[in-house]
Structure 1
Amino acid sequence: MSKKDKPVTLAPARRRGLGAEVADMIRSSIFTGAFQPGDALREVDLSKALEVSRGPVRDALQLLEREGIVRSEWHRGATVTVLSDQDVAELDSLRGALEHLAVRRVVEQAGDFDLIPIEIAAKAMQRAEDPYGMVRCDIEFHDAVYLAAKHSRLLEAWYAIRSQVFLFLIMRVNTSTADYLDHVRLEHDMLVAALKARNLEAALEMFAVHRKHAFDLLTSS
């Protein structure tokens, strides 16, 4: 039998496990403020609350640790990540690089139809009733921008840091919510207008200013 004809042996496909579902529930609790940065995530408490065994909880915490929103230390166990100043700076610089490419591609290549989901995401902010809901809308707005950029590897890079950016914004609203809802709505209306006008220089500047507001607030606290 030639190498070409040799049968290939593959492991059986695995369905999405319970650990991933548990991770979704814990992640959602972090992003809605039920668990705050620094809070302990005890396996025994989580398994009891979620009515699952400790195995899926352990798998979920490992998954969330890979996302960067949970940290485990042998003497403390698992906790919700508290982003350090270095974490924030690295995350902000990487996000800026990715967003620069995304905005450029949207302005230069996206059609009018591709901008509709971005407009819809911005309008959804009018219905946000609290800072945590607004953070979710903010992330979904940027999801729409990356999708409109039509660059699969860029989208993958965004999703690799998405949960950490979400956590960063949670820490931002925990620092101050003064005029937050109205300010974020106005900012995103301006971002949409710049994208629709195909004004690359203005769009890049506005996205940079948008990022800087949150960065400055968190690093000056």
Structure 2
Amino acid sequence: MAEHGKVAPARRRGLADEVADRIRDAVFSGAYPPGSQLREVELAEALGVSRGPVREALLRLEREGLVRSEWHRGSTVTTLSRQDVSELDSLRGALEHLAVGHVIAHASEADITAIEDAARRMERAADEHEMVRCDIEFHDAVYAAAHHQRLQDAWYAIRSQVHLFLLTRVGLNSDDYLSTIPDEHRELVAALRARDTEAALELFAVHRRRAFEVLTKDIR
């Protein structure tokens, strides 16, 4: 316990952070789809660590919205409800609207090139899971180019949930996903490079709407 006027010593959480990264990567690679149970004992054994870091890691992932814990079920990978989908879509839309405006107003040529490079990586994606990862990295580049730290922080607060949103979309319907998504992102880059705010906002909205419509069609 800290003495009056002093802070307590910092607690090292490096191992828990690494465990959280490993579990997150396993979820995003499809090893643990939505609804999968995440058992502390099994994870600790697989990762070669004690249950303590696993428990801390699951708590961190719960704060990200990637994991949900219930007393009678333990920890499971989040299954998005229709309300979850709607809230994520509306919040993402608000953040992207602000991001697009700042990118067009403040992004350098190097920033736009970084966004374009992220879009090009999508052309080499081998499967849907890699494509979703590239999709998220594209949006990372957009928020970085906005040069608005609090906006970027807000994006990272929901980043894992948006990743799960896209994985859920692919799980429900992957028809033409690999073939159409790169083209969509090339159009987004072109509008940003042209500094065409109206076109960029419309294209980003259409991009979000397609995924939203797939999810809301099949999720109750």
TM-score normalised to structure 2 length: 0.95
Aligned to 2:158: 161
Measure the CA separation in 2 of the matches of 1:16 and 1:155. Answer: 24
| Structure number with bigger Rg | 1
Amino acid corresponding to residue 150 of structure 2 in structure 1: R
SS in 1 for 2:175: coil
Q: Deviations over 1:157-181 (max 9, x none)?
A: 0000000000000001101111101
| Root mean square deviation, CA, Å | 1.1
Matched, 1:137 2:138: no
What is the aligned residue count?
215
Residue 182 of structure 1: which of 179, 184, 196 is its match? Answer: 179
Measure the CA separation in 1 of the matches of 2:48 and 2:109. Answer: 47
Aligned to 1:3: none
Q: Which runs of 5+ in 1 are unaligned?
A: 1-6
Amino acid corresponding to residue 70 of structure 2 in structure 1: E
Measure the CA separation in 1 of the matches of 2:88 and 2:152. Answer: 16
Aligned to 2:61: 64
Q: Which runs of 5+ in 2 are unaligned?
A: none
Amino acid corresponding to residue 137 of structure 2 in structure 1: E
Matched, 1:127 2:124: yes
Amino acid corresponding to residue 11 of structure 1 in structure 2: A
SS in 2 for 1:220: helix
Residue 118 of structure 1: which of 96, 115, 118 is its match? Answer: 115
Q: Deviations over 1:176-202 (max 9, x none)?
A: 111101110000000000000111000
Amino acid corresponding to residue 176 of structure 1 in structure 2: N
Residue 26 of structure 2: which of 29, 42, 49 is its match? Answer: 29
Aligned to 1:172: 169
Residue 43 of structure 1: which of 40, 43, 54 is its match? Answer: 40
Measure the CA separation in 2 of the matches of 1:59 and 1:15. Answer: 12
Measure the CA separation in 2 of the matches of 1:37 and 1:138. Answer: 19
Matched, 1:205 2:166: no
Identical positions, percent: 65
Q: How far does residue 113 in structure 1 lie from its aligned partner after superposition?
A: 2.0
Measure the CA separation in 2 of the matches of 1:205 and 1:156. Answer: 24
